[in-house]
Structure 1
Amino acid sequence: MSHDPYLPPDQRRLLSRFWESAAGFWRGGSAWRAWFLVALMVATVFLQLWTQYLLNFWNRDFFDAVGRRDGQELWRQAQHFVPLAAASIFLAIVSVWGRMTMQREWRQWLSSHLYDFWLGGARSRRLRFMLGEHQTPEYRIAEDAKVATDVPVDLAVGLLSSVLNAITFIGVLWSVGGSLVLPAFGRHITIPGYLVLAVVGYSALVTAAMMFIGRHLMRVLGESKRAEADLRAIGAHLRESGEHPLAPDARPDGRGIIGDALAKVIAQWRALCWQLMGMTLVSQTNLLLTPVIGLLLCMPKYLVGLMSLGEVVQAAAAFTIVQAAFNWITDSYARLAEWRSSANRVASLLLALDEVKAEAERPANLDVAAGSEGNGSRAQAGRPSGE
């Protein structure tokens, strides 16, 4: 095995190595099923957007009928709601099936690839003597490979949905909200698309707050997973030492060692708790304030009769949808950090196995080269001088 000092790989190399293996799911024999599931999820996102768009206008028509106290129109709108609700529920179920099927298929493919790489060619035994961050490979394959394949699917579907929702409902906000005229210093100031400007500014504020509070989350998650892996590795080593028939007391200081490892796990868990508490403060505050802010922004035009009750409800709903779309980064920040940590751990295992494979192949190649040279020399020695 190599005795060179171990240098931890940088983030770019880790992510590159992870995707080098994980992207194999979309190639080869599994490609047709993978791309079918991708097409299904994309189609479902577009259909959900269309249904949500129709429900947004249904809100306007329904509450306009409420404002007019029009019982006949209310009954007609109630009938229209039934197929829209049924379509929304059906598409939500299809979305869950497609997303979880993709995650299951991808995890099965990647886990099988990792097991084959780890257990083939006696690499599982050689790996123990390699430097690097590859402790508890069985856990990395069972747990980290799961997170590393689950989260990207959720994030990709969420990102596509957020982009489409933002584009679509910004148009609704612009058309329904229109311009706001404010008196100031004896003049009137016109703010075009004021609801769009408001939702962009508010979303930027929420995103900045979440990024600031959660700026250490990725580091804390990585250290927490590393501490958990160290605790499992030490426990497994102590168990193996205790089960060895020739050295039952090989580690008399084992309780102190595993106690220190447990203390590090608890310390990292406490740091993670504080990070998540701060991020929860921002997310829950935003969840409560967004619909209220949307309604309040519509009140000036509603009170002077420039917006109907239905338009107020429609605009407030669109404001909430757009803000949620812009808020994708803050909503996904914790999961993105979790994915990055798990993907790094899978990549670290892959890089260590790459090194084991290279070390195993290097002596064989040298022997073959030496043998070829020796055979060539003997052949030359055995030839007649006249040849």
Structure 2
Amino acid sequence: MGEDVPALKRRRVENATTETIRVAVLLETLAPTILNVPTERRLILRFWKSAGGFWRGETARQAWLLVALLIATMLLQLLVQYHLNFWNRDFFNAIGRRDQAELWGQALLFVPLISASLVLAVTSVWGRMTIQRQWRAWLSNHLYDHWLGEDRYRRLRFVPGDHQAPEYRIAEDVRVATDLPIDLLLGLLSSMLIAMTFISILWSIGGSIDMHVLGVAVAIPGYLVMSVIAYSVVITAATMGISRHLTRVIEVNKRAEAELRTVGARLRQDGECEGGPSIIGAPRVLIALALKDVIVRWRDLCWQLMRMTLVSHSNLLLTPFIALLLCTPKYVAGSMSLGELIQAAAAFVVVQGAFNWMTDSYSRIAEWVSSANRVASLLLALDQVSAEAYGDHAPFCTCSGVPICAP
């Protein structure tokens, strides 16, 4: 038996309502992109125009002093790491000679080295997080002043562009956009210094190796350095190829998360409004669609990170093995001691890690670009509010006696 006519009509109405809401949500999501799409270069420049004020204004002196402290700490950490590398050589040479007195001497030398490393690591964390905290506070206050000043927060809804959930962008995206540049730039500087320092160790210990190609003896100078450079190029190229869409995936994921929060806030606001508009069944469908979009975006992000993990974890496992494998022929031939074998292998791993900065940081760079773009999109929208003339006030409704903008 078929459905009765009233039930059939009711189902058609519900389906039509669902489709209408789905189209409305889709249009609301796509409209900013269709109407106003600034280039990524423009977004990054707009972000730095505001965020760079922290490094130029009244806060600049203290900020640059902290940067100087971090660089000094980094140089001292590099010095300690350099001595630890030679400590590895001497310690394992003592093991190879079964020299008990030397072993005890090296064990005592290890204590001040590790103590200095711990103190410097703690100092680095304090300096880094202090800069990040102060930069975030400065930029957040700048954005709150810009957003709330001259009633821009009311008129913002009439401006086309990608600026939904401004409160989320200021609270979360500003944090990411000010935390990651400090970490990334310090990491890049440290990697460059480490590479320059430990390449000399690889070159001096590894020397050249003789290989026979088609019956002809060929000497390869600095073969450990050549090997670590070639291996790093392969790993970096693989990472960048696999993760070329990561920035877009992270940005879309952040937008979906913000949309879910916005939908929830609007539904709560609608429920608190006296006599506000209401559609039976619509709120649940609306929130379900937003949640479904978040889950889909998280799945896309998951696949991206899985592919990146495949490369990064393989590299983590293979690098020490490759280092030992490259040094073994010289050790077997007697031209390299056990301590030099361990020292060269450790230096190989350290240099490869320094060259691998792009691979290790790629996902964080993508996350920073995404957050900086979202902050810049809000700034551009607020700039447009300031530049163009809109109505004096947005529509209001009264919720619990407090006037608020209607959703």
Q: Would you call these one fold, judging by a TM-score over 0.5? A: yes
Q: How does 1:22-37 map to 2 (within 5 A)?
A: 22-37=51-66
Which residue pairs with 1:373 in the alignment? none
Which residue pairs with 2:190 in the alignment? 161
- C-alpha distance in 1, partners of 2:132/2:280? 42
Confirm or deny that 1:114 pairs with 2:132: no
- C-alpha distance in 2, partners of 1:177/1:57? 14
Conserved in 1, the CA contact under 8 Å of 2:36 and 2:160? no
| Identity in percent | 63
Which residue pairs with 1:16 in the alignment? 45
SS in 1 for 2:248: helix
* 1:80–1:355 CA distance, 2 compared to 1 (3 A): same
Q: How does 1:72-87 map to 2 (within 5 A)?
A: 72-87=101-116
Conserved in 2, the CA contact under 8 Å of 1:118 and 1:353? yes
How far the C-alpha of 1:248 sits from its partner, in A, is 5.2
Which residue pairs with 2:350 in the alignment? 321
Conserved in 1, the CA contact under 8 Å of 2:173 and 2:374? yes
Residue 255 (structure 2) aligned to one of 204, 207, 226:
226
- C-alpha distance in 2, partners of 1:113/1:150? 17
- C-alpha distance in 1, partners of 2:340/2:133? 43
Q: How does 1:60-75 map to 2 (within 5 A)?
A: 60-75=89-104
How far the C-alpha of 1:17 sits from its partner, in A, is 0.4
SS in 1 for 2:345: helix
How far the C-alpha of 1:117 sits from its partner, in A, is 0.7
How far the C-alpha of 1:185 sits from its partner, in A, is 3.2
Confirm or deny that 1:48 pairs with 2:54: no
- C-alpha distance in 2, partners of 1:184/1:129? 72
Q: TM-score, normalised by structure 2?
A: 0.86
- C-alpha distance in 2, partners of 1:331/1:53? 22
SS in 1 for 2:118: helix
How far the C-alpha of 1:360 sits from its partner, in A, is 4.6
Conserved in 1, the CA contact under 8 Å of 2:202 and 2:347? yes
Which residue pairs with 1:380 in the alignment? none
Which residue pairs with 2:121 in the alignment? 92
Conserved in 2, the CA contact under 8 Å of 1:217 and 1:275? yes
Which residue pairs with 1:241 in the alignment? 270
How far the C-alpha of 1:66 sits from its partner, in A, is 0.8
Confirm or deny that 1:175 pairs with 2:204: yes
Residue 283 (structure 1) aligned to one of 288, 309, 312:
312
> Is the deviation greater in 244-253 or in 342-351?
244-253
Q: How does 1:119-198 map to 2 (within 5 A)?
A: 119-198=148-227
How far the C-alpha of 1:362 sits from its partner, in A, is 12
Residues 218-272 of structure 1: CA deviation (Å, up to 9, x unaligned)? 1111111111112222221222122211125257522222212211111110000
Residue 216 (structure 1) aligned to one of 218, 228, 245:
245
- C-alpha distance in 1, partners of 2:391/2:166? 24
Residue 130 (structure 2) aligned to one of 95, 98, 101:
101
- C-alpha distance in 1, partners of 2:246/2:390? 40
What letter corresponds to residue 209 of structure 1 in structure 2? A
> Is the deviation greater in 246-255 or in 199-208?
246-255
Which residue pairs with 1:337 in the alignment? 366
- Runs of 4+ aligned structure 1 residues displaced above 6 Å come to none
Conserved in 1, the CA contact under 8 Å of 2:155 and 2:390? no
Which residue pairs with 1:260 in the alignment? 289
How far the C-alpha of 1:112 sits from its partner, in A, is 0.7
Residue 385 (structure 2) aligned to one of 356, 360, 363:
356
How far the C-alpha of 1:160 sits from its partner, in A, is 0.3
- C-alpha distance in 2, partners of 1:149/1:297? 41
- C-alpha distance in 2, partners of 1:147/1:357? 26
- C-alpha distance in 1, partners of 2:137/2:145? 12
Conserved in 2, the CA contact under 8 Å of 1:241 and 1:250? no
Conserved in 1, the CA contact under 8 Å of 2:206 and 2:344? yes
How far the C-alpha of 1:338 sits from its partner, in A, is 0.5
How far the C-alpha of 1:86 sits from its partner, in A, is 0.8
What letter corresponds to residue 356 of structure 1 in structure 2? V
- C-alpha distance in 1, partners of 2:100/2:364? 47
- C-alpha distance in 2, partners of 1:304/1:362? 84
How far the C-alpha of 1:187 sits from its partner, in A, is 2.9
- C-alpha distance in 2, partners of 1:150/1:20? 17
Conserved in 2, the CA contact under 8 Å of 1:242 and 1:250? no
- C-alpha distance in 1, partners of 2:366/2:381? 23
Conserved in 1, the CA contact under 8 Å of 2:198 and 2:350? yes
Gaps of 5+ in 1: 364-387
Which residue pairs with 2:11 in the alignment? none
Q: TM-score, normalised by structure 1?
A: 0.90
SS in 1 for 2:102: helix
Conserved in 2, the CA contact under 8 Å of 1:130 and 1:356? yes
Conserved in 1, the CA contact under 8 Å of 2:91 and 2:103? yes
- C-alpha distance in 2, partners of 1:234/1:185? 70
Gaps of 5+ in 2: 1-33, 393-407
- C-alpha distance in 1, partners of 2:248/2:99? 58
SS in 2 for 1:134: coil
